[in-house]
Amino acid sequence: MLKNHKTLFFSFLALLIPIIFFVILETGLRFFDFNGKQEIFLQDEANANFLRVNPETAKFYFSNSTFRPSPSPDVISKTKNPNTVRIFVFGGSSTAGYPYLFSGTFPAMLKQRLADVFSENTVEVVNFGMTATNSFTVLDLVKQSFEYEPDLFLIYSGHNEFYGALGTGSAQSAPFGSTDRNFTLFYLQLKKFKTLQLLQLTISKIVDFFASSTNQQEQSTLMGQMAKEQEIPINSELYNKTLEIFEQNILEVIELAKQKNVPVLLGTLASNLKDHKPFVSIQKAGIDKKDFEAKIEKAREFAKNENYKEALKTLQQALKIDSANALANFYAAKCFDFLGNYQNAKQFYTKAKDYDGLRFRASSDLNKILFKLAKQPKVFLTDTEKALSEATKNKIIGNELMLEHLHPNLEGYFLMAKAFSQTILENKIFNFKENPAPKTDEELRKEIPVTSLDLKIAEIRIKILVSNWPFKGKNLSVDDFQLQNEVEKQAVAVLKKQSDYEKSHVELARFYTQQNRIDEAISEYKVLSETFPTNESPLLAISDLLIKSKRFDEALPFLEKTVSLVENDFSYKWIGTISLNNKDFSKGVKFLEKAVSLNPKDEQATYNLAGSYFFVGDTNKAISTVEALLKRNPNFPNGQNFYNQLVNSKTK
């Protein structure tokens, strides 16, 4: 009997040892912050009163890719005030603003609009959009968001349902594939354990080490890395399963938000219809391929000769053979377009997109799901696709608003922000007083903090993207771009990670300053002040440039914004001095007193403070202040004359 107890004890101990080992390992990994912190917000390094989005948030969703996107470095106040509007935005690369960075995104432009409308409130918009992520990421981030007191969840997601991280057709899927939603959600919970992260990172390093250089060159872009299933027919099992997962994920977001009384705003998905051919056209099985292809070629010959009616007739014959052929539908759309039948053109362009076998553009079925989900209480819908369509000549989205297959240009993002803002205001989602005279669209466009550096970075990113798979091109990389000027030099430095975004804007601002191009230098600093709103450095730089240019009234709002972040004698001194010049003497006293208390050796601030005292009628303080100044520096310019005038004025 005793022997049996011993056997049982040692068997139990044998089982317990690996458990203890993993508990110790997990505890150690967490203690040393292996693979970084997992919270979605971290303490802002620039200002202790704010939290900043964790730049390594995406690590959690990508397992073996060398590419891991970073969300925008947005901040929220650590303690939320009652007058604060706080919006969290979720989605993929279009939400992230690709190819633009930070200030060129629709969430940044939405913040700009709402800050103007709710001018008496603090507006915080956090952009959690990240390239190559889908509704699994959206759902997981939403679950972590509630403790930060959001007032609205805005979701523009769906283009990456197949190929985004954890997507059904993605190379970055959960183990054993991602067609089982419950398993993928379980896998996401497991990934919160540092031990699993260590294991995955180790495997990733081994795979990367043995990966062939040929394969890396063929799939050098993220699109190439992510797309595993490159032919997914419409209504196939994988296609329908993906739609089901998307609907369930967004529905769970809505249910969770409902429990916490947080409204949800969904956006329909827009793509380039008119000016982007399908990536992959899947031919129907069992058809006479030679006959079909002959009809397509005949139609193309008609179109080359601008005989669009005959081309269309031939294409309609081909579509009777294979109605779901993406390329045939696209060519038919082009014929309708040239013939001026824009309604039919849009219908066939949409079919071409929906039948595209390489699913980088969301099909119409995803928008149908969004319309369906938006019928629930406290769920709102912005028809983004319609808003962009309405802004085009023939109500068909093309290159006038899109850069390639689905990423909007700057104007496209601007229109998206406008559409989301209109939905928020029309439905009165926030119960705050609105500005009765908001800025016009043209005024807002001019204030978008995007400079030539941002535009050049975006231009290069797009050129690289469309030169690689699945686009046809020369497989460009950053090294292929010639540096013609300082802007291109800094843009390439950012893309090659030889410089960071902030440093390159500062370098360019200094370059402009040396050339006396002051407004251009100020624009570079303005971008940084918007992107890093808790950092006072760009605000101080702007203020300094404006003061040196004697543009004092322009400098005042930047100085005031600076002191809202941090106390500094320079800003206090100039707010006081400008107020004194503007005959706002009480304000001059208030800020000059602070300046002198922080820097008693500043003789000019002391002199100006004496003047402010005199103008508010406190001659005694004015005299004592000048006396202290002259005691320190008897030769201060005009100091003795001012002192004599003060004494004489008192004796009269």
- Tell which residue, 444, 433, 380, has the closest CA to residue 111: 444
**Contacts for 313 with CB less than 8 Å, ≥ 6 apart:** none
As a whole number of angstroms, the distance between CA 110 and CA 346 comes to 29
CA distance to 112, 226, 246, 369, per residue, from 242 (Å): 35, 16, 6, 12
Higher pLDDT pick, 4 / 481 = 481
Helix/strand/coil (H/E/C) assignment for every residue in 269-322: CCCCCCCCCCCCECCCCCCCHHHHHHHHHHHHHHHHCCCHHHHHHHHHHHHHHC
Q: What is the pLDDT of residues 212-232, one digit of tens each?
A: 444 443 345 677 677 677 899
Q: How confident is the model at residue 8 (pLDDT cuts 50, 70, 90)?
A: low
DSSP state of 432: -
Lowest mean pLDDT across 18-22, 281-285, 305-309: 18-22
pLDDT of residue 93: 96
H/E run at residue 402:
none
pLDDT above 60 (res 449): yes
Residue type, 228: K
pLDDT of residue 142: 98
Q: Which two tokens stand for residue 145?
A: 């968001």
- Give the rounded percent of residues in the chain with a pLDDT score beyond 70: 89
Q: Which two tokens stand for residue 283?
A: 């031919």
pLDDT average, residue stretch 316-335: 96
Q: What is the pLDDT of residues 471-523, one digit of tens each?
A: 987 889 999 998 899 999 999 999 999 999 999 999 999 999 999 999 999 99
Pairing assessment for the beta strands 379-382 and 122-127 based on DSSP bridges: unpaired
pLDDT of residue 228: 78
Mean pLDDT over each residue of the chain, to the nearest integer: 90
pLDDT above 70 (res 629): yes
pLDDT of residue 547: 97
pLDDT above 60 (res 460): yes
Residue type, 611: G
Q: How confident is the model at residue 210 (pLDDT cuts 50, 70, 90)?
A: low
Lowest mean pLDDT across 46-50, 65-69, 182-186, 542-546: 65-69
pLDDT above 80 (res 195): no
Q: What is the pLDDT of residues 133-152, one digit of tens each?
A: 999 999 999 999 999 999 99
Q: Is 638 left (phi over 0), alpha (psi -120 to 50) or beta?
A: left
H/E run at residue 382:
strand 379-382
pLDDT of residue 170: 85
**Contacts for 214 with CB less than 8 Å, ≥ 6 apart:** none
pLDDT of residue 213: 43
Measure the CA angle with vertex 189, ends 187 and 195; round to 5°.
85
Query: Is residue 420 a contact partner of residue 265, using CB atoms and an 8 Å limit?
Result: yes
pLDDT average, residue stretch 151-173: 92
